[in-house]
């Protein structure tokens, strides 16, 4: 069922979208939080050694850092004296433009850089996706119907952002846990819309295009069929999707969720496939959270077709989860070899961590 949707412009000019399925759209309260949105110094600087853009966002220095639950800016505004980012008494799912954006619609023109340097505007979008109004919920515990609604919201945001001509790539992601540096605990994810295809996405797309050209098949289709045929690294699967610790995992509990059919983005998924994606997401997250009996920190990143209008043969929708832990009390650090050489060392075998995740029974 398609959601109802309404857009609100906040007093500082930022936009917020409410999505509603079961309940009427929320009554919007007057938003008294008229922040002045700063963008002093926001720019993209070119890294000539690595040939990639670096986002310089000085205003993010002052961003909200682990506030107590009663001052959570992502909860609904339950008391007019404590207005939050969400000017309503409740909501099902909401999305709003980040108060401390790394990329924005109205990014300023930067000071011109002298050769051999270059700078440009940090055009794009930085949005926050509120998964639920319940401050202490986790994605794993939300009903699968609610997760399916979230999939619809991700697809809707992808579609809307893709239509903006300055946007080349939409990155849907989630950082979870203080180990990842998360500054707000309310269940939420983020969406960055870039004016360029980010380096890692570009490398993956180039590799997939090369594979397709050389072998005539899709790399990801071949991987998902090899993984499900082998089975040793599969964590969960259904008709639409497989979740597995890939043979080439760079993190011990890394899991990729890959569409079994060749779909470049969320937009090409059928209704049944979206429901299957929600289900496999819920299963994986339950396994993650029950593995060591506490919410497992992770980074979740969706890989979809760039939105710059070019052709990307071999582009195949998938989600990559990279939890930073290698054991309940030890993190896998990105040190000299990873940060300085981009070569990852992993001390766990994918077959073994997959076995452990498979053994965790999800709550049904």
For 228, residues 6+ apart whose C-beta sits below 8 A from its C-beta are 234, 237, 242, 244, 260
The reply on whether position 292 binds its own copies by CB under 8 A is no
Q: Which of 205, 200, 155, 239 is nearest to 342 (CA)?
A: 200
| Biggest CA pair distance of the chain | 63
Restricting to residues 232-291, name those near its own copies by CB under 8 A. Answer: 247-250
Out of 1, 50, 69, 80, name the contact with its own copies by CB under 8 A: 50
Query: Whole-number minimum distance, CB 161 to its own copies, in Å?
Result: 15
Query: Whole-number minimum distance, CB 116 to its own copies, in Å?
Result: 5
The reply on whether position 174 binds its own copies by CB under 8 A is yes
Query: Whole-number minimum distance, CB 287 to its own copies, in Å?
Result: 21
Residue closer to its own copies, measured from CB, 69 or 226: 226
Show the site string, 343-362: x = touches its own copies by CB under 8 A, - = not.
xxxxxxx-------------
Out of 6, 9, 38, 54, name the contact with its own copies by CB under 8 A: 54
Backbone angles phi, psi at 138, to 5 degrees: -125, 155
Restricting to residues 125-154, name those near its own copies by CB under 8 A. Answer: none
Q: Residues touching its own copies: how many (CB under 8 A)?
A: 78
- Residues carrying an active site annotation: 188
The reply on whether position 214 binds its own copies by CB under 8 A is no
The reply on whether position 74 binds its own copies by CB under 8 A is no
Query: Whole-number minimum distance, CB 222 to its own copies, in Å?
Result: 5
Token pair for 222: 């071949």
Strands 52-56 and 93-97: unpaired
For 317, residues 6+ apart whose C-beta sits below 8 A from its C-beta are 258, 259, 263, 264, 265, 266, 268, 269, 302, 303, 304, 305
The reply on whether position 340 binds its own copies by CB under 8 A is yes
Stretch that binds its own copies, among 145-153, 155-163, 269-277, 328-336 (CB under 8 A): 328-336
Using CA atoms, how far residue 139 sits from 277, 282, 289, 301, in Å, is 13, 7, 10, 15
Neighbours of 5 (CB within 10 A): 15
């Amino acid at each position: 069922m398609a959601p109802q949707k309404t857009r609100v412009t906040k007093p500082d000019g930022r936009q917020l979208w409410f999505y509603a399925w079961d309940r009427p759209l929320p009554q919007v309260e007057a938003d008294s939080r008229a922040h002045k949105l700063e963008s002093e110094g926001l720019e993209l600087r070119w890294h000539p050694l690595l040939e990639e853009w670096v986002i310089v966002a000085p205003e993010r220095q002052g961003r909200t850092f682990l506030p107590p639950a009663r001052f959570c800016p992502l909860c609904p505004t339950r008391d007019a004296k404590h207005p939050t980012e969400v000017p309503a008494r409740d909501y099902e799912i909401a999305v709003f433009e980040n108060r401390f954006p790394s990329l924005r619609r109205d990014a300023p023109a930067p000071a011109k850089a002298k050769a051999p340097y270059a700078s440009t505007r940090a055009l794009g979008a930085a949005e926050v996706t509120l998964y639920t109004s319940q401050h202490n919920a986790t994605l794993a515990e939300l009903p699968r119907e609610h997760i399916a609604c979230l999939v619809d919201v991700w697809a809707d945001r992808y579609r809307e952002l893709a239509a903006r001509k300055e946007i080349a790539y939409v990155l849907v992601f989630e950082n979870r846990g203080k180990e990842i540096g998360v500054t707000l605990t309310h269940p939420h994810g983020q969406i960055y819309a870039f004016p360029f295809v980010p380096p890692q996405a570009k490398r993956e797309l180039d590799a997939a295009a090369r594979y397709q050209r050389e072998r005539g098949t899709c790399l990801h289709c071949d991987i998902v069929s090899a993984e499900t045929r082998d089975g040793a690294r599969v964590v969960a699967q259904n008709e639409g999707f497989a979740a597995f610790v890939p043979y080439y995992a760079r993190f011990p509990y890394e899991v990729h969720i890959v569409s079994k059919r060749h779909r470049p983005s969320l937009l090409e998924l059928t209704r049944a496939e979206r429901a299957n994606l929600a289900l496999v997401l819920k299963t994986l997250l339950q396994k993650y959270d029950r593995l060591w009996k506490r919410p497992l920190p992770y980074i979740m990143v969706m890989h979809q077709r760039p939105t710059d209008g070019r052709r990307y043969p071999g582009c195949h929708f998938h989600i990559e989860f990279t939890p930073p832990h290698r054991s309940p009390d030890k993190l896998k650090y990105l040190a000299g070899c990873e940060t300085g050489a981009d070569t990852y060392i992993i001390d766990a075998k994918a077959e073994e961590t997959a076995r452990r995740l498979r053994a965790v029974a999800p709550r049904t």
